[in-house]
A and B are shown apart, each in its own frame.
Chain A
């Protein structure tokens, strides 16, 4: 009896904890808010570069998690990193003053040169380095491959990858560690993570330039520091329909299924694809799924029940592969849907590999839009460079674009965050691995076109099947 009571208490405690975690998992924004509420909220004062609390009082940087992180070493190790106690400031760079570990270096009116010191420019990338299904090392090595042979104003560029744990809370944590030490931040993947980081108060107050692939406009519109380097999901809605028409999977007697994560960040994407399908006269059914994934079997049952020929999917990549596996693909007259949607996460080869099944290749039919071409065309878009996988290839493409952005700051001006943002906002950039990007017209959502990527289960890769087009 005693054992049973203890058992009950243990399980009840476990269940209560699990329910709390689940609830927070369903509302990541709430989780981030809870986390903020739990401790002192700190900001980087854009004028002094100091870390301050909400009242503007200076805060000991050592007390701010990650604030003592010095760049150039593994940013994912907890706590500060010995060896760089206080950056020294780069001689000859106006306004660069170093400062005790926090990094912001501006003097009054001189502009913010945080992340430029010792003849190096430090940039940060955040992305899911663990657990989310992308090759982690490639995230780090992709940057090095590019910058080994390129310099900005004679300075070496050091790019460090931060693990955002594929959660908005993780992204905020990563970006708050990066903001006081790195010149700019690049968002690797994940709509919620990109949004959480780009609009985070520390990033905003520090005026940290932030570049990512296009995802949502929700919460990102009007941010001075944010730049989308490819078409947003909403912009891609009509392009998906165009691709479907060209590739012969638009007209469907039983219509399309729109399997979309139930998050406000995908509302614009959903509106866009619904409008495009209505305009094309194609019936569809919206099947919302929890942001955290939900039950793949339930979704698979709904797809088979509706006999939808085409499935537009926008959600967690791993959940996508579970849905594909659970739905299966039977030879005609059996059910075998065509999967489609927008980039960027679905277009990584890890996803194709999983969706294609474990042993012999399955007849998985997938064709998605992507801001970059298939890895099969790496030699064409980056001749002479050897990549070990598609993540390295695409990160290389991001670095190509960043290089152009840095070059667009007039040499007559110091390289500051303010001048960088002003220069990017006034320029268009020509295609490298990524498509052309145009910000000069006044938008910060500068994507212009997308590639068609088709899954090849024999090679277990996405391969270019068309584009770039819009």
Chain B
């Protein structure tokens, strides 16, 4: 007996699932946009900021190896701290020495950071995946094919909050303006007394923070974390989200993430695997190519 799916199962459920999944992409995308605004580069290590944070959270929550077992909330703080530190370390040890090099050099360097991070993660955590609990247990809503967990609700709220806060930060604070100034004209910015190094470190620290939040929330949702996990699962959709939204637009990353998540879920649900294998992955690439070819400024971005 073939059980028929109704419109709710074909559209409503993937729509809601897509918004939640897209929120994760948006969170990672926010970090990508932030660094693009600040340094004019794509950061291939953004996913690993999140993976490191999630692994550290797990390590402290479970008290693995020599680490003390701490309450989950404290472990999350430690995880976020690890993400921020990784961002700062990347800036100090890799980006700053290469700051005057062509941008493509910096992009490749971030790819190197990602690969190095995966190796280090594997060394300390082992290559096997481990399970990680959600921040909040339980379901917010269940009905038919649709299930929204409390964790997923947290993801949506956190993304919306961070999108608003970062937008306001760039629009209304002097530091936000300084970050933009450094990205556009570092020499002139330093001449007016703004420390380029300090601004650069701040930008990478913030990117580490955003990546860490994304990593902890995503791994808590999937229940699994392993070396290289976020890069493998979410980096390409996050790139797509950032480009789709307009690579210089923070709200654009939010919107782009949600759109990519929804498209991915709706297509994945409605195109059978035997017609197009991994249709949800293919559509992400198709959207990215389409945006780059036909609207390179993205949805909310501006040609600069």
Using CB atoms and an 8 Å cutoff, list the residues of chain A in contact with chain B: 1, 3-4, 6-8, 10-12, 14-15, 18-19, 22, 26, 129-131, 133-136, 254-255, 262, 283-285, 288-292, 294-298, 300-302, 304-306, 318, 321-322, 325-326, 328, 330, 334-335, 350, 353-354, 356-360
Contact = CB atoms under 8 A, between A and B. Distances in A.
Contacts of A335: 142, 147
Interface string B147-167: 101000000000000000000
Contacts of B277: 26, 262, 290-291
A321 B223 CA distance: 8
B129 interface: yes
Interface stretch (B13-21, B84-92, B172-180, B208-216): B13-21
3 closest A-B pairs by CB: A305-B145, A358-B133, A359-B133
B276 to A, nearest CB: 10
A351 to B, nearest CB: 10
25 contacts: A3-B304, A10-B107, A26-B277, A26-B278, A133-B129, A133-B226, A135-B128, A284-B1, A285-B2, A290-B273, A294-B268, A294-B280, A295-B264, A297-B17, A297-B21, A300-B147, A302-B145, A321-B224, A325-B223, A328-B147, A328-B149, A330-B139, A356-B131, A359-B133, A360-B133
A4 B145 contact: no
Contacts of B226: 131, 133, 318
B144 interface: yes
A357 B14 contact: no
A357 B223 contact: yes
Contacts of A360: 133, 137
Contacts of A305: 3, 5, 9, 13, 144-145
Interface string B106-119: 01000000000000
A188 to B, nearest CB: 14
A353 B14 CA distance: 28
Where chain B touches its partner, the secondary structure class is: mixed
Given A283-B3, A294-B268, A321-B131, 9 more contacts: A1-B303, A1-B304, A255-B1, A294-B278, A296-B222, A326-B222, A334-B142, A335-B147, A354-B224
B274 interface: yes
Contact of A15 (B131, B224, B285): B285
B288 A294 contact: no
A284 B282 CA distance: 28
B273 A289 contact: yes
Contact of A330 (B1, B142, B280): B142
A295 B14 CA distance: 11
A254 to B, nearest CB: 7
A302 B17 CA distance: 12
Contacts of B103: 3, 6
Contact of A357 (B131, B139, B236, B288): B131
Given A11-B42, A262-B273, A357-B223, A328 B292 contact: no
B296 interface: yes
Contacts of A353: 131
Contact of A22 (B61, B149, B281): B281
A10 to B, nearest CB: 6
